[in-house]
A and B are shown apart, each in its own frame.
Chain A
Amino acid sequence: MRKNWWKILASVLVIYTAIAGLLLNVPRLAILNESIRNLYFHVPMWFAMIVLFTISVFYSIKSLSSQSEVDDLKAVESANAGIIFGLLGLITGAVWAKFTWGQFWSFDPKQNFAAISILLYFAYFILRNAIDEEQKRAKIAAIYNIFAFPMMVVLLFVLPRLQDSLHPGNGGNPGFNSYDLDSKMRAVFYPACLGWIIIGYWVYTIRLRIKTLENKQL
């Protein structure tokens, strides 16, 4: 039980998000209305995805120097867990967009680039599965991952800022920080991010444990 304290912490944080996120006061904004509360659920998905991809690229670099199979597995499984959160972020974003921007997919730069960066990681898995020899697979996949990660960062955080976007914080749009992420929203938003990041890490450890068991049996 003592080892599991962070899992309990994550559960408490996520439950707190669900309750406080729906009940606490939020700023009254014209088009967003109550859907501003989606900030507590849609955005932490992306944070969890980015943290998991960071873990993935860390172990990819490590596996290149250590040549160990464990590091390679860690890189793959964390990327796998990250994809789930990316897809959930994409779907919830599309639903939110439908009722605030008018369409599920309005070809907003950030939407497009998020989809592309998820495709980048799909390519990573396809590349891995295409190579049979283990040493070679680990090396090529690790190098691809090291290139894919900065691409993802550029696609999500740099390019959308250079053009007009419907997402806040991009182009001519002011960020959440400037007007509506007031201190009350922070009190839910930060715990939500932390909670979902830890849940993502939990999913990754479960995946890793299953994968190592599977490998042992082969």
Chain B
Amino acid sequence: MKKIASIFILLFAALNLFAQNNDIEMADALRQNGKIYIVVICIVIILAGLLFYLFTLDKRLKMLEKKSGGKN
């Protein structure tokens, strides 16, 4: 099992070498397609941050509602 795994790992490492032969730039994943994925990451960060914030606000409001539950 280990042997097969190591063969595959070596094989994929070699494939990578072949694929990268033409251009020198490295770690391209997020630089592909004109760096549009960086914009995607930033939008996701903003949305995730604001949504997380909304949830914390919601929690605070729920606590308030629970406290005032007896009065209303």
Binding site for B on A (CB under 8 A): 18, 21-22, 32-35, 37-38, 41-42, 45, 84, 87-88, 91-92, 95-96, 99-100, 199, 203, 206-207, 210, 213-214, 217
Contacts and interface: CB of A to CB of B under 8 A. Distances in A.
B36 interface: yes
Interface residues of A: mostly helix, strand, loop or mixed?
helix
B53 A41 contact: no
A199 B36 CA distance: 25
B50 to A, nearest CB: 7
Centre residue among B33, B35, B41 by max chain A CB count within 10 A: B35
A51 to B, nearest CB: 16
A95 B39 CA distance: 9
Interface string B32-53: 0111101101110110011001
Contacts of A22: 36, 39
Nearest to B30: A99
16 contacts: A22-B39, A33-B34, A34-B35, A35-B36, A42-B42, A84-B49, A84-B53, A87-B49, A92-B42, A92-B45, A96-B42, A99-B35, A99-B38, A100-B35, A199-B50, A210-B57
